[in-house]
Amino acid sequence: MPLFGRRRDDSTIKTYERILEDAKAAMRNREEDKAQILLRRILRWITEDMDKVSKMSDEYKKRVSELLTEAGENMLILKDYNYAIKMLEKAKTLNYKNVKAWLDIGRNLLQRNTQIPYGISCLQEAVKIDPNNVEAHILLGDGYRLQGQIEKALKEYKRVLELEESNEMALEKFLKIEPNNIEVLKKYAEVLEKKGDRENLLVVYNKLASLTNDESYIDKGLQLDPDNKDLLITKAYTLKQQNKYSEALEVAKNLMEKYPDDPAVQLLYGEIVETEEEEFKPIEVEELFGDLGIEGIEEVEVEEKPSHEDFLNYYENGQIEKALKTFEKLDKEEREKLIKSYGNLQLAETLFDHGKIRYAEKIVEILLEKERTQDALYLKARILIEGGQLEEGEKYLNEILKRNIRHASALFQKARITCVKGNEMGTRNFLTMAIKLSPEIKEMVKKDSILQKYAEKEWFKKLIL
């Protein structure tokens, strides 16, 4: 029977409070059925008396709203989602400014990946009511991300960082969308330093070193872990870019001694040795002095430096070799102009295939800032894997496969990474899927040095037949 007519407002609320406390006690004692009955009773009684509840003073309605919210949260713990949502809906009806009720509904719907648009609308209301509510902005960003509205998601995470510049959750979520944002990575590093999270800090230092070519990040990381393989690989590549081949080779040799079977280390060592041999290749006497004949000496003409437009003329006419030779002669400014004015995926792939990896990556980064297409994500993954950053590369592959599990090339690259990790079952599964979707991948498998690890396995032989 309804409570009104039998009790005054304050005694009614005390009754609700007592039932709620009894329900919480039952939950602590693991009497979940009893707790569920008691919580449902609160909703039933308030619903029966809703006409009179709505006429209560604002103070009493606010208190009833709070009780319903707490009851709804306990229902969520019991996984009685339908009743929980009903309670929370009634709570925000009684008190529109009950931010907690709006948040609880939005959070729960996102977590269960159901009614996402309504969940987002609830979180939007929470933000309107309390513009500085950090949790509301984070959850709203998550909702936008689930719907693929990346720019809106980033805006919400940025707002959180304006409110709390060291909010670890917002930093992590931001970096899931823009993993190469240097300023956010720096802030994340500061948070991890204070927190003492050594494992993640090493990964961030390595990332920053790769993006900025700032050796101080490598030094900081190696102070924490002098034998960190990934940081040492990055150090060797950095030294190579600075033309310090002997120092780079020394690092690579030490890595080869410790990790002789590691594909990333093998690739690094091979590149540095090859570059060093080319750099110090002896010059033939004839090439240096000619035949020393006095006759025929001509005035040497100073060759004019080419522009990025010269490169484009060759490239667009299909004269790739001439284009690449021209690219070698471009100064830094002209290369930057080329990347910014003509940076497309085809050019990035051409540069990548011909060893101009750093410039290919710059183009891909620009493309990914505009739109995270599968092709751009895949090339970025290949660039990272080529540079020995297997875990980072795998993140991009995972993003592709989350969108499209039938992406054969991404599955092939996943197989290579799982092979490096020594996960034979994973390698087998990824290869089977890749070849089933794209039979021509068999030829790539046959030629791949990493996958030859399983060349003698029967399953491998059957796959490439």
Residues whose CB falls within 8 Å of the CB of residue 203, separated by 6 or more in sequence, listed in order:
230, 391
Domain boundary among 133, 151, 175: 175
Question: Are the C-beta atoms of residues 187 and 171 closer than 8 Å to each other?
Answer: yes
**In this predicted structure, what is the pLDDT of residue 322?**
83
User: Both 38 and 114 in a single domain?
Assistant: yes
What pLDDT does 326 receive? 85
For residue 450, pLDDT beyond 60: yes
| SS3 assignment, position 67 | helix
CATH of the domain at 150: 1.25.40.10
- The reply to whether 202 falls in a domain is yes
Average pLDDT, rounded, for the chain: 85
Three-state DSSP state, 372: coil
142 and 64 within one domain? yes
- pLDDT tens by residue, 430-448: 898 889 888 888 888 888 8
Q: Kindly state whether residues 65 and 167 are assigned to the same domain.
A: yes
Has residue 366 been placed in a domain?
no
Q: Is the pLDDT of residue 205 over 70?
A: yes
Q: How many Å apart are CA 465 and CA 312, to the nearest integer?
A: 43
- Are residues 14 and 154 located together in one domain of the fold? yes
Identify whether residues 222 and 187 lie together within a single domain: yes
Q: Give the range of the structural domain holding residue 415, as residue numbers without chain letter.
A: 405-465
Domain contains 335:
no
Q: Which residue has the higher pLDDT, 410 or 7?
A: 410
What does the alpha-carbon distance between residue 364 and residue 218 come to, in Å, rounded to a whole number? 24
* pLDDT tens-digit readout, 264-281: 788 788 777 766 555 544
Q: Are residues 68 and 22 in the same domain?
A: yes
Boundary-marking domain end, from 210, 226, 242: 226
More confident position, 279 or 221: 221
**pLDDT at res. 292:** 47
The CA distance from 266 to 263, in Å, is 5
79 with 92, same domain?
Answer: yes
**Does residue 294 fall inside a structural domain?**
no
The answer to whether 98 and 67 are in contact (CB under 8 A) is no
Q: 76 and 163: one domain? A: yes
Is 209 a member of any domain? yes
**pLDDT value at residue 19:** 93
How many domains are contained in the chain? 4
pLDDT of the residue at 1 = 40
- Shared-domain flag, residues 13 and 69: yes
Under 8 Å between Cβ of 308 and 363:
no
464 domain-assigned: yes
Residue 288 has pLDDT above 60, yes or no: no
pLDDT digits (tens, 9 = 90+) for 81-133: 999 999 999 999 999 999 999 999 999 999 998 899 999 999 999 999 999 99
Strand partners, 7: 4
Q: Are residues 144 and 21 in the same domain?
A: yes
Asked if 22 and 139 sit in the same domain, the reply is yes
Is the pLDDT confidence value at 418 over 70? Answer: yes
pTM: 0.59
**pLDDT, tens only, 42-95:** 999 888 878 777 778 889 889 999 999 999 999 999 999 999 999 999 999 999
CA 354 – CA 437 distance, rounded (Å)? 28
What does the pLDDT average to over 203-232? 90
3-state DSSP: the chain helix, strand, coil percent, rounded to 5?
Answer: 75, 0, 25
The structure tokens listed for 247 are 């120092």
Q: Provide the pLDDT confidence category of residue 372 given band limits of 50, 70 and 90.
A: confident
359 in a structural domain: no
In the structure, what pLDDT confidence band is assigned to residue 303 with cuts at 50, 70 and 90?
low
Same domain for 214 and 251, yes or no, is no
Look at residue 42 and tell me if it is in a domain.
yes
Q: How far is 325 from 322, CA to CA, in rounded Å?
A: 5
Q: Which residue has the higher pLDDT, 274 or 384?
A: 384
